[in-house]
Structure formats: C-alpha cells, structure tokens
Structure 1
Amino acid sequence: MSHARPDPRGVALCLASAAGFGAMAIFAKEAYSGGAGIATLLAVRFVLAAAVLWALVLPRRSRLSRERRTPSLLPGLALGCLYAVEASAFFFALSRIDAALAELLLYGYPALVVVGAALLGRERLSRGRAAALALSTAGIVLVLAAGEIGNVDGLGVVAAITSSFLYAGYVLVSDRVVSDRDPLLVCAQVVTGAALCFLAYGLSTGSIHLALSAEAWVAIVSISLLSTVVPILAFLKGMQLVGVGTATITSTAEPVFTVALAMVVLGERLAPVQLLGGALVLAALALLARPRGSRRTDAASRRELGSPRVSGAHEPAPHAARPAPAREDRERTAVG
C-alpha cells in the first residue's frame, strides 16, 4: 500500500537513523587512533549494543508474550548474520579500493530496494518517488565524488557491488520481519546475530584486543549506543510507519550528515560540489514529504492497486544497515 503522504514521525525517525549512522565515522576515527582494530571495533560494538537492547526488551516480556504469535528468534538472528556478511564484504572492498569509490558503489542499494519493492508488489514506483530517488542518488554522487577514487581493483569493485545487493536484501527482508513484530525486539535479535558472527570471527582468529585507551573505549561505547542501537531501532520503526521505499530514500541523507559532521567536528572543508549534492538530497526529501493529491486521488490509487483501505493499516516495513557505514561508516568504520 502506498501512502499519499509519508508519516512525518517515520521520516523523522529515518533521518535520526541516518544521522546516527553518519556520525559513526567521527567516532571510529577516535577508536582507531586509540588502538582499536576493525575486528575489535565490530565485535565490541555489537556485543555492547546487544546487551543494551536486551536490557530494554526483557522487562517487556509479558507484553510481548501476549502478541498474536510468539516471535521467533531465528528470523532476527538470520538478519543479523546477513548484516554481518554485508559489512564484511564492504570492509573487504575498502581494503582494495578507495573509500569514495566503495561508497558510490554501495549506494546503489536505495535504487535496488525501491525497484525490488515495486517488483514484489509491496509499493508502487510513482513518478514522485522515482524523481526523489534520482535526486538523492545524484546528490550522493556529488557528495562522495569529492573523494579520491584512486586505482580501480576488479575484486574490490565486485565486493562493493555485492555489499550493495546484500544490504538491499537485508532491507527488503527486514520489511517483512518487522511488519508484525515489535521493532525493539527485532532490533535486539538483529544486533545479537551480528554480534555472534563478529565475536566468533574475532575469537577464532585472535583479532580481538581489549587493551585500548580510554578515548577508544568512549568512542566504541558511543558507536554502540548512538550509531547502532538508536539508528537501527529508529530505521526499523520508521519503516513501519512510512514503508520500505520512503525509508530507504530518506536514509540517503546519511553521507550528507557525515560530511557535515566532519566539517563541524573535525574542521574539514566542504567543496562547493558537496554542498550542491547535499542540496539535491534535501530536495529529494522535500519531494517525498509533499502531499501527493487529494483524498479522491488517493482513493483512485488504492482502487488501481486493488487494495481496500483498512483503518490503521500501514505498509509493511523493515537501516538494516544500512548499512551501510557515510556508509563508509555504517560498515566500513565500525560499521552500518
């Protein structure tokens, strides 16, 4: 079902998710400078986040047990493993190609999600949504194109493209998993699945080292809370309210938040082309938020889709990841 106008609460939640993931690069730089490696950062990030989420979920067990059906752990844990595989593919790409190129290839996922949702019959690809997708994609290219592309390695390019498809799959599957479940519970399950994967890898390879500086620990805790718990939960709840397509396009604001925070916190300067790219992303969000016709038009649209109006119904909905380190951050930096 397609919303005549996205729920402002859902859009705000997806923007909050993008801001949280976008801040990850800033925190990750502090963690790396304090001695944290990628394996340590990923494992500790998700273990801490899982602990926080389950501390929030467990007091609500009685209410959750009264749901129509008992939520299974398996779908959420499987989603977490998918998220971990996507992150690993993106990190592998970053080890072979420059971050800007990896980011550009990864951010093909919004188009994959929107088109995939249309092909699966979940949402209609309207002209307005297609225009917003085109604007946001062009904006991302301009924001990230200021970075160095460097040498193009075939295997790295394949890994980045694979990461894009995996993250799109994660989002589309999340859309179904979270549609009739508590987003907090699903978020806890997803993060736990990712934590188990990264913990197993780190322990089996001996690549987890906890002798870090105080600054590194502060940064990792910040990533766990502000760039994992908050954005993943906000994304899942936001998609429940606005649908997978609108949520995914809104998430393209993530690279804009990253470069803006880099300017404010790290003193980095933005090129004019990056400012133009940010403006295009904002224009895409404004296009998504505008009303799309009268009630009569909306009713005609529903008849065309053959879906009767149900009071209180909304699109099924899944940032996982989201990834998505920008995304250089959702997954590259600590991923996300």
Structure 2
Amino acid sequence: MFFCLASGATFGAMAVFGKLAYAEGATVGTLLALRFLFASGLFWAGGAGRSLPARRDVLIALGLGAGGYALQAGLYFTALPRIDAGVLSLLVFTFPIIVAVAAVALGRERLTRRRALALGASSAGLVLVVGGAGALDPVGVALGLGAAVVYSGYILVSESVAKRMSPLTLAALVCTGAAGALTVGTVLVGQFQPGELTVAGWWWLLCLAGVSTVAAIALFFAGLARVGPTRSAILATVEPLVTVILAFVVFGETIGLAGVLGGGLVLAAVLLVQTGDR
C-alpha cells in the first residue's frame, strides 16, 4: 500500500512541475522528450541493467513505453496548457473505474462490495475536490479522457510483466521506450526546442524527471506487483488530492469546503482498501 500511495503523491507534483516548466520556455515536445531522456538515464545509472530479464519481456516493456506510456504522457501534457491541473486530474482519474471494470470483465479480479464502495467514494471525492470549474476546453477534456483510457490499458498489460522483473528494470525499459518514441516524434514535428529553456526551466524538468517520473514509476510498479491493478488504481487517487494541495501552495488556488470534503472521501477510500476485501 505504501508504494502506491507514495507513487500517487509523487505523480501529484507532475502537473505543477509541468506548468512551471511551460512558464520557463518549455514546449510540449521539449518537456516530453527531456523528461524521459533524463529519467531513463537516471534509471540505468541507478543500476537497472544489472539483471536484464528475458528478451521477450524486454521487448514488451520497451513497447509499453513507446506505445503506451508515451501516448498517455503526450495526451496529458498536451491537455495541461488547455485546462486547469485539478480538472485534468479528475478526467485522468476516471481510470480506476475503467481498470476495475476491465479487470472484472477479463476475469482477473472480483468486484467486491468493499472495493466497489471504495471506487464510488474515491470518484465522488475527486468530483468534489476539483468541482466548480468554469467553462472547459473541449479539446483539453477529450485529451484528458483519452489519457485515462490509454493509461488503463497500460496498467492492465503491465501487470503480468511487473511480476516477472524488478520494478527498477521495468521502469528503466518503459522510460527508454518512451524516450525513444517521444524524442523522434517531437524532432520530426519541430517541437524539440531545448534552447528556449531558461535555467529555471531546466530545473523544473529535472524535478519532473527525478520526482514525478523516476520515483513515481518505480514506486508504482513495486505497488502493482504487490496489490494488483484495481487496488493500485484506487490507492493512486491520492494523486489529484496532492495536485490540488500543491496548486494552492504554489499558485494560490483555493479548494473551498467542497475540496475538503472531497479529500476526506479520497482518504476514506484509501482506508477501505487497506482494511481488505469482503
């Protein structure tokens, strides 16, 4: 449980780091490419290559990065300049519902009463936390929902691979696949412009890579291998709560009474998962 919660918290800082990087000269392409180039380098420097798995699993993990994680990240960070960070978090965090329904449909897990209640509580809490938003950009909404769908498929596919190799190795391979796909793609479309970054911009991208990528992904895979896709998805709902809190601290955004109530529901969902299934 701890790994999933810690992963959610570090992922929660991602939107704030992203907006700060955009303000310091980063384009979407620059952010995506450098994020995963830095992250993959940090993973391999940290010893991810000490024991590589079978070739088939290596290729699967690289494919997850290039075809799954890269696409999800691209959708997310393209949506980020269009809509508020909190609203984007809500849209993306429809993925626990998608994961739970898909896992049950595939016969992998049972949707117990306690788990269903936790899903309902976390979803209602997220609505309250980021509710009250004004007019929404329809393209941003579509991109956010698309990121949720892609991320759901990514979680379900990566579960079996996560049980066959170390979280560090899997995270390194996923980031390497994403780095390759995103770097080539952004260069081809003319979005790779690192020369436009300020010194502060480089710093925020390093924070994005180190905190909200290296630490977050490694912790997520460690948690996924221990608690399964539905529990890990529910526990990860602390992410938007952290995003809202950080947005308040950094940008002065307020959440009001509805946000406080929503945060309580998210924490209640976490406690329901921790106390087991019935």
Question: What TM-score do you get using the length of structure 1 for normalisation?
Answer: 0.76
| 1:146 and 1:274 in contact (8 A); partners too | no
Q: Cα distance 1:92–1:228, how it changes in 2: closer, same or farther (>3 A)? A: closer
2:39 paired residue number: 49
C-alpha distance in 1, partners of 2:17/2:80?
Answer: 18
1:269 counterpart SS class: coil
User: C-alpha deviations, 1:277-321, integer Å up to 9, x for none?
Assistant: 10100000011111457xxxxxxxxxxxxxxxxxxxxxxxxxxxx
Q: Cα distance 1:34–1:93, how it changes in 2: closer, same or farther (>3 A)? A: closer
Q: Cα distance 1:132–1:90, how it changes in 2: closer, same or farther (>3 A)? A: same
User: C-alpha deviations, 1:196-217, integer Å up to 9, x for none?
Assistant: 1110112112221222221111
1:79 paired residue number: 64
Select between 107-116 and 206-215 the one with higher mean Cα deviation: 206-215
C-alpha distance in 1, partners of 2:42/2:29?
Answer: 20
Shift of 1:70: 5.2
Q: Which residue of the other structure, out of 10, 26, 39, is the alignment partner of 1:20?
A: 10
1:208 counterpart SS class: coil
Q: Which residue of the other structure, out of 125, 128, 136, is the alignment partner of 2:122?
A: 136
After TM superposition, the structure 1 = structure 2 runs for residues 2-41 of structure 1, keeping only pairs within 5 Å, are 11-41=1-31
1:167 paired residue number: 151
CA RMSD of aligned residues (A): 2.2
2:225 paired residue number: 240
User: C-alpha deviations, 1:201-234, integer Å up to 9, x for none?
Assistant: 1211222122222111111101100000000110
Greater Cα radius of gyration, structure 1 or 2: 1
User: C-alpha deviations, 1:33-89, integer Å up to 9, x for none?
Assistant: 22111111111010000011112235623xx46xxx456321111111211112333
C-alpha distance in 1, partners of 2:113/2:98?
Answer: 16
1:313 paired residue number: none
Select between 182-191 and 104-113 the one with higher mean Cα deviation: 104-113
User: Tell me, which stretches of 5 or more residues in structure 1 are unaligned?
Assistant: 1-10, 294-336
Larger helix proportion, structure 1 or 2?
2
Amino acid at match of 2:13: A
C-alpha distance in 2, partners of 1:100/1:80?
Answer: 25
2:172 paired residue number: 188
Select between 262-271 and 191-200 the one with higher mean Cα deviation: 262-271
After TM superposition, the structure 1 = structure 2 runs for residues 41-120 of structure 1, keeping only pairs within 5 Å, are 41-57=31-47, 60-61=50-51, 64=52, 69=54, 72-81=57-66, 82-93=68-79, 102-120=88-106
Please tell me whether residue 223 in structure 1 is matched to residue 208 in structure 2: yes
Identity %: 41
User: C-alpha deviations, 1:153-195, integer Å up to 9, x for none?
Assistant: 3x55444333221110001001122121111111111111111
Q: Cα distance 1:55–1:139, how it changes in 2: closer, same or farther (>3 A)? A: same
- Between Structure 1 and Structure 2, how many residues are aligned? 276
| 2:125 and 2:265 in contact (8 A); partners too | yes
Question: What TM-score do you get using the length of structure 2 for normalisation?
Answer: 0.91
Q: Cα distance 1:75–1:126, how it changes in 2: closer, same or farther (>3 A)? A: same
C-alpha distance in 2, partners of 1:234/1:48?
Answer: 18
Shift of 1:151: 4.6
Amino acid at match of 2:262: G
| 1:96 and 1:156 in contact (8 A); partners too | yes
C-alpha distance in 2, partners of 1:55/1:99?
Answer: 32
1:72 counterpart SS class: helix
User: C-alpha deviations, 1:228-285, integer Å up to 9, x for none?
Assistant: 0000110011011111111000011101011112223444332111111101000000
User: C-alpha deviations, 1:124-155, integer Å up to 9, x for none?
Assistant: 1110000000000001111111333x1563x5
2:165 counterpart SS class: coil
User: C-alpha deviations, 1:102-130, integer Å up to 9, x for none?
Assistant: 44333221011011112222211110000
Amino acid at match of 2:106: L
Please tell me whether residue 285 in structure 1 is matched to residue 270 in structure 2: yes
1:269 paired residue number: 254
C-alpha distance in 1, partners of 2:62/2:251?
Answer: 36
